[in-house]
Amino acid sequence: MKHRIYTGFVANPRSASARGGIHDGANTTRAQMEYFPDGAIVVTETGRIDFAGTRNDALSSYPAAEVREYPNALIIPGLVDTHVHLPQYEAAAIGTGELLDWLNTYIFPLEARFADDSYAREQSRRFFADALSLGTTTMSVYCSSQRNATERAFEAAFEAGIRVCMGKTMMDFGAPENILFSAHQNIEDSLAIAKAWHGSDDGRLQYTLTPRFAGSCSRELLRLTGDAARANSLRIQTHLSENPSELRYIAELFPEFSSYTDVYAAHGILTGQTVMAHSIYLSAQERSLLREHDCALSHCPCSNRFLQSGVMALRKSMREGFKIGLGSDVAGGFSLSMLNEAKEAAESSKTWNILNRGEETPPVNAEEALWLATLGGAEALGLEQNIGNFVRGKEADFVVLSLKDILPNHSSFSAPEQVISRAVYGAGRGAVLTTFVRGKQVFTRS
């Protein structure tokens, strides 16, 4: 069988760290990642990882392999965006308000435009192409609320070669009429799209039931979502506890429940395949409820700041053993770049410390942030057996970044963790040389 060797500075997130234990902030650098500065990965003909280690070992163990040399380049696993809204991409970096006003002013009118098939197709293509150009190989996507637009998005993801967990955003109240559908219609359309696409191309494309949040889903829609997830073993993604006004709104809508998380629990939304975005303002009771159900968190630090939502307690959540990935939350977040999101995760963890003097925890460093943007995201989506790091047998999703572009000036700081720190803080739009999904080249810098 024909193998391919890709040489460069290889950074490989460690699997064993997954839950609890090493996320305590003390001496984590060696534990989070292993490094091969003069390294290589070897990929099989079927697009799986066969080896990760030194360049010399790869060359001597696979003498017949085709070799692609990437001198002065960093090779990392494909970046995973665990929370992003496709139809909002055009509004990235626009607006100044907080969540509920921003939705009404900018986002709902934009999402309505996706009723137009050709607009939906064009936007979907651009969205996935841009994500791949930034090194994102897996995305957990909220489409607009129209069935046709979600189908166009699946077609575009299929063609682009990206890996997605994706669904039609479901709403049956609390938004303009033209983007609302009845509870039953929402579920019927979602399951029809899931039937057509879930698991296609050997599992590269997966369907996720996507109730927007309790503020736009009736009790009936939430309950039907929980039932459909259980009956069809589907993922769920939704928003939880993002913004103070949102919390007041949910409390008014659901006075019979003791917390926002309780609303979801009562309707069967909390499962081991549920991804909760934001999750900033959670009580101890809510945190243990989420952990009991093994729900994952999608931490969206750029969005949390852009919409002035709040600062999430990242270190605390890591220590408590949550599955956590990072989400760009475009267009609450202003960029699809997951390296940018990783940088913000590290910075917002420092902001949390500043705001909680006396309870400081070690801030999350760049290596941990990169871990969250790769293997952490894979875990959050339940894909850690398939992707997230360079373990033999996993699918070869990876990114090659130009170190020349990341480190334009001579620097005497060249220890592996320093290279990673500069990559996380310094990687701009043009740093990605090429992106692979399942061993197939899906983006190359021209």
Is the CB of 103 or the CB of 228 nearer to Zn ion?
A: 103
**What residues contact residue 96 under an 8 Å CB cut-off, 6+ apart?**
none
Question: Of the listed pieces 93-101, 148-156, 182-190, 323-331, which binds Zn ion according to CB under 5 A?
Answer: 323-331
Q: How far is the CB of 370 from Zn ion (least distance, A)?
A: 22
Question: Of the listed pieces 32-40, 185-193, 329-337, 339-347, which binds Zn ion according to CB under 5 A?
Answer: 329-337
Q: How far is the CB of 121 from Zn ion (least distance, A)?
A: 23
Within 18-77, the residues that bind Zn ion by CB under 5 A are none
Is the CB of 111 or the CB of 329 nearer to Zn ion?
A: 329
Q: How far is the CB of 348 from Zn ion (least distance, A)?
A: 16
Question: Of the listed pieces 61-69, 206-214, 305-313, 321-329, which binds Zn ion according to CB under 5 A?
Answer: 321-329
Phi, psi values for residue 342, rounded to 5°: -65, -40
**What residues contact residue 199 under an 8 Å CB cut-off, 6+ apart?**
205, 206
Q: How far is the CB of 248 from Zn ion (least distance, A)?
A: 19
Is the CB of 151 or the CB of 329 nearer to Zn ion?
A: 329
DSSP letter (8 states) at residue 50 = E
Q: What is d(CA 124, CA 152) in angstroms, rounded to the nearest whole number?
A: 7
Is 105 exposed, middle or buried, given 0-12, 13-18 or 19+ CB atoms closer than 10 A? middle
The token duo for 43 is 């990929």
The token duo for 270 is 């909390």
Is 252 exposed, middle or buried, given 0-12, 13-18 or 19+ CB atoms closer than 10 A? exposed
Question: Of the listed pieces 167-175, 328-336, 384-392, 406-414, which binds Zn ion according to CB under 5 A?
Answer: 328-336
User: What are the strands, taking DSSP E only, across 272-408?
Assistant: 274-278, 296-299, 323-326, 398-402
Is the CB of 12 or the CB of 144 nearer to Zn ion?
A: 144
189 binds Zn ion (CB under 5 A): no
Q: Which residue has the closest beta carbon to Zn ion?
A: 329
Q: How far is the CB of 218 from Zn ion (least distance, A)?
A: 20
Is the CB of 204 or the CB of 323 nearer to Zn ion?
A: 323
Is 26 exposed, middle or buried, given 0-12, 13-18 or 19+ CB atoms closer than 10 A? exposed
Map residues 272-301 to x or -, x wherever contact with Zn ion holds by CB under 5 A: ------------------------------
**DSSP3 helix / strand / coil % (the chain, rounded to 5):** 45, 25, 35
Is the CB of 42 or the CB of 307 nearer to Zn ion?
A: 307
SS3 298: strand
329 binds Zn ion (CB under 5 A): yes
Is the CB of 333 or the CB of 439 nearer to Zn ion?
A: 333
Residue 81 CA from chain centroid, whole number: 2
Angle subtended at Cα 33 by Cα 27 and Cα 38, rounded to the nearest 5 degrees:
120
Q: How far is the CB of 170 from Zn ion (least distance, A)?
A: 14
Question: Of the listed pieces 14-22, 42-50, 169-177, 327-335, which binds Zn ion according to CB under 5 A?
Answer: 327-335
Residue whose token pair is 């999904």: 437
Is the CB of 165 or the CB of 391 nearer to Zn ion?
A: 165
Angle subtended at Cα 74 by Cα 73 and Cα 78, rounded to the nearest 5 degrees:
130
Q: How far is the CB of 329 from Zn ion (least distance, A)?
A: 4
Q: How far is the CB of 368 from Zn ion (least distance, A)?
A: 23
DSSP letter (8 states) at residue 115 = G
- Interface positions with Zn ion (CB under 5 A): 329
